[in-house]
């Protein structure tokens, strides 16, 4: 599903963020990505989402070498990847419902199906009462749940989540992790970057640790 071979990532040719990363994640795996702040976790997720390209090395996603993809092919690959960004990246001019519905609208699904699926997802993240709100009228935790709902709404082949439970209380964290496990049980490959040691111990999944840009 995901393969990295001798991957390096630097900015401006000086700041080397990732160094000789080799990694294989099989289809249907659930993986925690850990490491101190600045270790390179977020950069690695950006590479997997094609927000950034490697400086050196090869990355294969679903047997496609991302460095060889034509620019107009990138959006099609991204349709198979759900992402929970650390800064959420919600569209402030759209309501909660509209933010979540975007991924389904891109697929040109009928409005009736979109409405049913979005309402179901809103219930799953306990945000039915906020569906007509705009992001700036929500708390940080609520915005985070909108981002999670948007990432899961189209049942992606791969889910990438950068500190997805960082602003959530223990009850909501449990609900969100249950959603991630359900997605994983349905075949989604899940990669979660987190600092939460208690969550890692509780769920007992495969752990990949990054230290100073290297996978150890």
The pLDDT tens digits of the residues spanning 186-202 come to: 999 999 999 888 889 99
From the list 23, 13, 14, the residue with the least C-alpha distance to 48 is 23
Cα separation of 194 and 76, whole Å? 28
Task: Specify whether the CB–CB gap between 86 and 140 falls below 8 A.
Answer: no
Topology of domain 30-50+69-215, CATH? Rossmann fold (3.40.50)
Looking at residue 195, its pLDDT comes to: 85
Looking at residue 39, its pLDDT comes to: 87
Q: Is the pLDDT of residue 14 over 80?
A: no
Looking at residue 10, its pLDDT comes to: 92
Looking at residue 135, its pLDDT comes to: 95
* C-alpha distance from residue 144 to each of 21, 50, 85, 163, 191 (Å): 29, 22, 9, 10, 17
Q: Is the pLDDT of residue 28 over 80?
A: yes
The pLDDT tens digits of the residues spanning 122-136 come to: 999 999 999 999 999
The pLDDT tens digits of the residues spanning 38-83 come to: 889 999 999 999 999 999 999 999 888 988 888 888 888 888 899 9
Looking at residue 38, its pLDDT comes to: 84
- Rounded to the nearest integer, the mean pLDDT of the chain is 92
The angle subtended at Cα 84 by Cα 78 and Cα 89, nearest 5°, is 90
Task: Specify whether the CB–CB gap between 124 and 145 falls below 8 A.
Answer: no
Q: Tell how far CA 164 is from the center of its chain.
A: 8
Task: Please report where in the chains the tokens 């900015």 appear, as a residue.
Answer: 11
Where helices occur in the chain by DSSP H, the ranges are: 41-48, 74-78, 96-106, 111-124, 140-152, 170-185, 197-203
- Read off the pLDDT of each residue in 170-176 and give the average, rounded to a whole number: 87
- Read off the pLDDT of each residue in 16-20 and give the average, rounded to a whole number: 93
Task: Specify whether the CB–CB gap between 21 and 181 falls below 8 A.
Answer: no
């Amino acid at each position: 599903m995901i393969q990295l071979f001798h991957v390096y990532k630097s900015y401006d040719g000086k700041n080397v963020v990732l160094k000789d990363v080799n990694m294989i994640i099989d289809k249907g795996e659930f993986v925690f990505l850990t490491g101190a702040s600045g270790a390179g976790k977020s950069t690695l997720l950006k590479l997997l989402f094609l927000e950034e390209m490697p400086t050196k090395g090869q990355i294969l996603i679903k047997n496609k070498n991302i460095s060889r993809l034509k620019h107009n092919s990138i959006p099609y690959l991204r349709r198979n990847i759900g992402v929970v960004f650390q800064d959420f990246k919600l569209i402030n001019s759209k309501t909660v419902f509209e933010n979540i519905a975007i991924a389904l609208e891109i697929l040109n699904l009928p409005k009736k199906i979109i409405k049913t699926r979005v309402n179901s997802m809103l219930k799953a993240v306990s945000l039915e009462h906020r569906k007509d709100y705009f992001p700036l009228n929500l708390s940080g935790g609520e915005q985070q749940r909108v981002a999670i709902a948007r990432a899961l709404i189209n049942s992606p082949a791969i889910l990438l989540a950068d500190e997805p439970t960082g602003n959530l209380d223990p009850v909501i964290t449990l609900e969100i992790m249950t959603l991630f496990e359900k997605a994983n049980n349905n075949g989604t490959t899940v990669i979660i970057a987190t600092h939460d040691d208690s969550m890692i111990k509780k769920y007992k999944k495969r752990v990949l640790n990054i230290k100073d840009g290297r996978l150890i």
